[in-house]
Amino acid sequence: MKHDAPDSRFFTLLEFNLSHQTGKPVKITDVTPVYGGDINSSYRLRTTAGDFFVKLNDAQLYPGMFRKEARGLNEIRSTGSIYAPQVILTGETDDVAYLVLEYIPHDAPRDRAFWREFGEKLAAMHRHTHTYYGFDEDNYIGTLIQINTPSASWPDFYIENRLKPQVKMAVNKGLYGPAEVALFERLYDLMPHIVPEELPHLLHGDLWGGNFLASPAHGPVLIDPAVYYGHREVDLAMTLLFGGFEDAFYDAYHAAFPLEEGWRDRIPLYQLYPLLVHANLFGGSYVPSVIRTLRRLLARFGG
């Protein structure tokens, strides 16, 4: 649910907070809505200290959403591998939560060179590993809480923190019944035999076509992350869910950091999670799509 446009008092307070944060007087000279997102209201702020991008939402409806997003952006930035917007300020006032980021022009051509650079830089980000799968706090996937309880086992993490919570939510919504739950149980039994062993790698977590920019100054820029440490195939599977990226992206990625053999056969496994999220958020055709994907997996891997 998007937040209504705030009144002038909010922007006056934002000027004060930006001035304090940047250490110099900041005066907002223009506020322009930025359209495209389904969850947040977004604006480009033109100020005497340069341009900023601000996202607004209901502080009570999605507690901590922007603080967690800022954590994710900073986690990506800390790798020095691929660009993510600099976090300027995050906070709450009355019922409004806000996140202020640097404004990034994103009108660079998405040509073969861009896609090649994107693949190489994502591979470089994925080389950053951790001692466990998960993250040190839960965050959001869309408007749903994403559970990141650390685990030493990737199959256990994916089952307990990704699939089971979404399946339970779908059952509670009446989307699925015992027969569908039984299919998932069969998949859970197969999981340890399906996935290759791999270290926990830093993932964007929601890498579809709407969550990156093509910047003239920075090349590919990652936005709106749902970060955690997991299996690299998760990010690649998400890129392929809604049509896929250009071939140059995948070619460059595999040249830089090859995936294990058979990775394309496992793509539906990692698409189950975002499909379940979409089924729980939007219903409609996503509900049967989950079951079709699940049946395809079971047929492929002998369930």
Q: Which residues are catalytic?
A: 206
Asked whether 277 and 142 are in contact (CB, 8 A), the reply is yes
From the list 248, 264, 259, the residue with the least C-alpha distance to 118 is: 248
Distance between CA 63 and CA 39 in Å, rounded? Answer: 13
What are the strands of the beta sheet with 28-34, ordered from one edge? 28-34, 41-47, 50-58, 96-102, 87-93
What HEC string does 147-182 produce?
A: CCCCECCHHHHHHHHHHHHHHHHHHHCCCCCHHHHH
Instruction: Give bridge partners of residue 53 from the DSSP assignment.
Output: 44, 101
In degrees and rounded to multiples of 5, residue 216 shows phi and psi of -60, -35
